[in-house]
A and B are shown apart, each in its own frame.
Chain A
Amino acid sequence: MSTKKETVLVPMPSVNMIPERDFDKSPALECINLGISFGGLKAVENFNIALGRTEISGLIGPNGAGKTTVFNLLTKVYEPTEGTILLEGKDTKSLTTAQVNQAGIARTFQNIRLFQNLTVEDNVKVAMDSQMKYSLLSGILRLPSYWKEERVARERAMELLSIFNMQDLADTKAGSLPYGAQRRLEIVRAMATNPTILLLDEPAAGMNPSETAELMENISHIRDMFHIAILLIEHDMNLVMNICEGIAVMNFGRIIAKGTPSQIQANPAVIEAYLGKKKEA
């Protein structure tokens, strides 16, 4: 496995993408030389990034660039073979996927992964499990702690569902929701875990333009309401350029450019990655 490195905070400029207002605070999440190889193939290497406390940032790049792999590394679905992930300054090396979530990273999935046979409300309540305290026995015996915490959970679930105006769907089975609603429910479920960082994997995939516009508003709204950092993978450039404050572009497992939306739009390496090399005249 990987080397026994001291977890020193790397000076910020080297990984900096942080908007000005978050400068004085330590980053919510920091990746230092993060990498993973499957056999001989290096899927991600030298991945350096820092997320400001309340920043919305984007991770873009052509298909197969390793964007979702980065999410899987951050949430410990894959164990990194190189580098360090610092969450609130703490190394997540020894944590499992569930513990990383409890430490503050929540995510959605590119291919929707809802609990199909559970209702919308229960999908959200499942995500509150690690915040609930009543024991199995109090659940079986229906002690007062059960009733109290269940009532609180229900109220909170309804509150979270109201972000996307989904309270009326609370009793619907998640599997029978329309596609767009399923994507929104994934975000609500992630928010129910009380994260400090929200990772969105192609939140607008399969949505029509008006749904996408609404989603954009909602993402900003969530950030303003909960004061969290959001990192999103997205192919809809309109969405990315409009709501992201910082953008990192990946190609072949490496970051090829970092900067503000306008910097990225003008960057020749990015244009090359997306459109190919200009033919020599």
Chain B
Amino acid sequence: MGKTIRNSRTRTVNFITYALVIIAYIILQSMVSSGNIKSVLKGMLVPICAYIVMAVSLNLTVGVLGELSLGHAGFMSVGAFTGVTAAMAMFYGIPGVAPWLRLLVGMVTGAVFAAVAGLLIGIPVLRLRGDYLAIVTLAFGEIIKSLINNLYVGFDSKGFHLSMLEDKTNLLEGGKLIIGGPMGIGGIKKISNLTAGFILVMITLIVVFHIMNSRSGRAIMAIRDNRIAAESVGINVTKYKLTVFTISAALAGAAGALFAMNYSTIVANKFDFNTSILVLVFVVLGGLSNMLGSVIAAAALTILPEALRQFSEYRMLVYAIVLILVMLATNNPALRALIDKLKPGRKNEEKEG
């Protein structure tokens, strides 16, 4: 029998995804180092990477597990603020630390805190299904936003100081207020770069593809296809849902930290409901469970508003129209059939079938 058709097809799609990301990185990185890149595009490289990670991680929840989450930006926010706080504290606390190390610590911290948030919200919430889960995750995103808008975090020689609602951190001489409530975080060192973004995208893809192709992935997709049958063959539904939720949150957290360290200031309102929906649009447009689609959709739709600058005030209108047209086109049966015909390997399948 040899290797299976399906396995080889999945492997091909995964390979194409990796290859696409690597090639895009090589081209963009060479443009950056030769200075041959428009400053607008250059500023968008890191956000594109962050949104790709957001889209792929949300696709794990929405596409693979089949649970609608409307609060993905909440995890990004948790990751952004904890990650930047860690990186800044490191900068003040340990002089002369290499920027890449601060970035790494920031991203890992962001991922860990977001994972904890995912776990904490997941335990009570994942008993809910469908619309209810969506509403609760939506509320979670808003709660995180309000929480950070009222949070003050300072750092001095005695360590971290936290207070809510107003600044009562009473920092010692030489201390720094890092998170300033509605002012967010200011004075961030812009240490994110394309290479860090590329590495995070690759790690995300490897994690997600490897999960999908293991016993956990099979169990997760089984839960999506038929929960009752999955339980009847001994699958612990809650455990797997929680696993997906946590991993998805952790990746979003790392993306948030990466994203935040691309700007000099960051506020909680950046990660609101609109951001969650934006990421959901990437996922739906790219196709549920289709990670390659998520990568392309996230990259294209992040660039699109900038590319549409020439339409000035009609920009978002054109954006919406393009979105509708793409959705219609990709769901067109005739077009689908045509694409299927052009796909290599289809003839083999017919012969084998």
State whether these chains interact. Answer: yes
A139 near B233 with CB under 8 A, answer no
Whether B235 is near chain A, meaning CB under 8 Å from some CB there, is yes
Contact across chains for B233 and A129 when beta carbons are under 8 A apart: yes
- Chain A minimum-CB-distance residue to B214: A139
B232 lies within 8 A of A139 (CB): no
A77/B228 in contact, CB under 8 A:
yes
CA distance in complex: A170, B7 (Å): 11
Q: Which of B7, B221, B237, B243 has a CB less than 8 Å from the CB of A115?
A: B221
Residues of chain B lying within 8 A (CB to CB) of residue A167: 1
Q: Are A97 and B232 in contact (CB under 8 A)?
A: yes
Q: Choose from B207, B210, B234 the contact partner of A193 (Cβ within 8 Å).
A: B234
Given contacts A113-B228, A190-B233, contact A136 B216 (CB under 8 A): yes
- A109/B229 in contact, CB under 8 A: yes
Known contacts A113-B229, A132-B215; A98 and B210 CB within 8 A of each other: no
- Per the bound structure, the CA–CA distance linking A126 and B235 in Å amounts to 8
Look across to chain B and name the residue whose beta carbon is closest to the beta carbon of A138: B214
Q: Is B5 an interface residue (CB 8 A)?
A: yes
For A97, the chain B residues whose CB sits under 8 A away are: 228, 231-232
| B28 contacts A by Cβ under 8 Å | no
Q: Known interface pairs A75-B232, A121-B4, A171-B4. Does A115 touch B215 (Cβ–Cβ under 8 Å)?
A: no
* Cβ distance B31 to chain A, nearest Cβ, rounded Å: 32
Q: Are B234 and A101 in contact (CB under 8 A)?
A: yes
A118 to B, closest residue via Cβ = B221
Given known pairs A101-B232, A130-B234, the reply for A139 and B225 (CB within 8 Å) is: no
Are the CB atoms of B4 and A189 closer together than 8 Å?
Answer: no
CA distance A263 to B221 in the complex (A): 47
When distances are taken between beta carbons in the complex, the residues of chain B under 8 Å from A149 are: 215
Contact of A106 among B211, B226, B232 (CB under 8 A): B232
A134 in contact (CB, < 8 A): yes
Given A98-B237, A139-B210, does the pair A107, B219 have CB atoms closer than 8 Å?
no
Q: Given A96-B231, A107-B232, A189-B233, decide whether A129 and B210 contact each other with a Cβ distance below 8 A.
A: no
A to B CB contacts below 8 Å, 28 in the list? A75-B232, A97-B231, A101-B233, A106-B232, A107-B232, A109-B228, A109-B229, A109-B232, A113-B232, A115-B222, A116-B225, A117-B221, A126-B219, A129-B218, A129-B235, A130-B235, A130-B236, A139-B215, A139-B216, A139-B217, A140-B207, A140-B210, A146-B214, A149-B215, A150-B214, A150-B215, A189-B233, A190-B232
Tell me the complex Cα distance, A192–B229, Å.
13
Smallest Cβ distance from A134 to chain B, in angstroms? 7
Known: A98-B236, A101-B232, A125-B218. A115 touches B226 (CB 8 A): yes
Output the residue of B206, B215, B231 with the most chain A CB within 10 A. B215
- Pick the contact of A118: B7, B225, B228 (CB < 8 A): B225
Bound-complex Cα distance A99 to B243 (A): 19
**Inter-chain contacts of A126 with B (CB < 8 A):** 218-219, 222, 230, 233, 235
- Give A141 to B207 CA distance when docked, in angstroms: 8
In the complex, which residues of chain A have a beta carbon less than 8 angstroms from the beta carbon of B38?
Answer: none
The A111-165 residues at the B interface (CB cut-off 8 A) are 113-119, 121-123, 125-130, 132, 134, 136, 139-142, 146, 149-150, 153
B351 sits at the interface (CB 8 A):
no
Write out the residue numbers on chain B whose beta carbons fall within 8 Å of the beta carbon of A171: 4-7
Given A113-B229, A139-B211, A140-B207: A118 and B237 within 8 A (CB)?
no
Interface membership of chain A positions 186-197, coded 1 if the CB is closer than 8 angstroms to chain B and 0 otherwise: 000110110000
With a CB–CB cut-off of 8 A, which chain A residues contact B233?
A: 101, 106, 126-127, 129, 189-190, 192-193
Report the bound CA distance from A146 to B216 in whole Å.
11
Write out the residue numbers on chain A whose beta carbons fall within 8 Å of the beta carbon of B235: 98, 126, 129-130
C-alpha gap A55/B218 in the complex (Å): 33
Report whether over half of chain B's contact residues are helix, strand or loop; otherwise say mixed. Answer: helix
Assess whether B218 is in contact with A136, with CB atoms less than 8 Å apart.
no
Closest to B7 in A: A171
B6 A129 Cβ-Cβ under 8 A: no
A150 to B207 alpha-carbon distance, docked (Å):
18
The range of chain B's interface size is 20 to 34
Q: Which residues of A contact B6 (CB under 8 A)?
A: 119, 171
Q: Which residue of B lies closest to A107 (CB)?
A: B232
Query: Which one, B214, B226, B231, B243, contacts A98 given CB within 8 A?
Result: B231
Q: Which residues of A contact B222 (CB under 8 A)?
A: 115, 118, 123, 126
Q: In the complex, what residue of chain B is closest to A175 when comparing beta carbons? A: B225
Cα A136 to Cα B217 with chains together (Å): 9
Residue of chain B at shortest CB distance from A136: B216
CA distance A150 to B218 in the complex (A): 12
| A81 neighbours in B (Cβ, 8 Å) | none
Find chain B residues with CB under 8 A from A127 CB: 233-234
The CA-CA distance from A98 to B229 in the complex, in Å, is 10
A residues within 8 A CB of B221? 115, 117-118, 122
State how many angstroms separate the Cβ of B6 from the closest Cβ of chain A: 5
B192-251 interface with A by 8 A CB criterion: 206-207, 210-211, 214-219, 221-222, 224-226, 228-237, 243
Contact: B234 with A114, CB < 8 Å? no
Q: Which B residues are CB-close (under 8 A) to A16? A: none
Contacts of A193 in B (CB 8 A): 233-234
With both beta carbons as reference points, the residue of chain A lying nearest to B219 in the complex is identified as A129
Tell whether A102 is near chain B: CB-to-CB under 8 Å. Answer: yes
Query: Which of chain B's residues 308-352 have a Cβ closer than 8 Å to chain A?
Result: none
Which A residues are CB-close (under 8 A) to B237?
98
- Given A136-B243, A139-B215 in contact, is the A117-B234 Cβ separation under 8 Å? no
Proximity bits, B92-109, A CB within 8 Å = 1, else 0: 000000000000000000
CB-CB under 8 A from B228, the residues of chain A are 77, 97, 109, 113
Give Cα distance in the complex from A189 to B210, angstroms.
Answer: 24
* A76-98 to B contact mask, C-beta < 8 Å, 1/0: 01000000000000000000111
